[in-house]
Amino acid sequence: MNKTILLIFALLIGGFTINAQESKYGIRIGANLSSISSDDITGDLDKSRIGVVVGFLADFRLTNKLRLQPEFQYSGQGNKDRDLRVNYLQLPVLLKYNITDIFNVQLGPQAGVKIWEWEDNQAGVTDFGTFDFAAVVGIGANITDNFFVDLRYALGLSNVFDEDAGLSIDGTSRNIQLSVGYRL
C-alpha cells in the first residue's frame, strides 16, 4: 500500500513542472496531540501526548491552484506514558490545493525516522521501530503573504513497534497537528 501511494504521488508530480520563480521557503512551529492506536495498549497507557513540531519547508508553485510543499520537521509523538514516547525526524511531502487565496487543503505521504525513545523501559513492554509512514490530510489558511496556519491529521500506515524485538505488539500512530509558519 505504501508503494502504491508513493507511485501515485510521483506520477502526479511528474506531470507538472515547477516554476522556480514561484518558490518560497519557510519555517513552521506548533503542537501535536498524538497517540498510538493499539488493542495491545490498555488502561492509562492509551492517553494522548502533547508534543512539539518544528521544521523547515519549501513551497513550489505547480499550477495557479496547486502547490508542492516538502518539509523536514522534528515531531514529539507517542502516548502520555513515558514508556510510549517517541520522537521523529519526518519528511512530509504535501500537495496543496488553493481553494481561494486564503484557504487550502493538503494531502500527501509522510516518512519518519525515530531519533529518540524512552530508554528507561524497565518493564520491557515497548521497543519502537526505526521508521514510521503516515498519510497526511490538512487545511491551511494564509493570514498574510508570509504568515500561515495549518491544521493536519496524520494517520499511521505502519506498525510503530519493532517487530524484530520479539514483542507481539502492534500499533499505528495518530497525530493532530496545529502549527503557524512564516514563508520568506
Domain count across the chain: 1
Domain span holding position 19 = 2-183
**How many residues in the chain?**
184
Cell of 39: 488493542
Q: In which band, very low, low, confident or very high, does the pLDDT at 40 lie, cut at 50, 70 and 90?
A: low
Q: What CATH number did the domain enclosing 113 receive?
A: 2.40.160.20
Q: Which residues of 32-71 are buried (b: 16+ CB within 10 A; e: fewer)?
A: bebbbebeebeeebbebbebebebebebbbbeeeebbbeb
Per the model's pLDDT, the better-predicted residue between 165 and 15 turns out to be 165
- pLDDT tens digits, residue range 62-120? 999 999 999 999 999 887 877 788 889 999 999 999 999 999 999 999 999 988 876 55
What is the Cα–Cα distance from 29 to 51, expressed in whole angstroms? 11
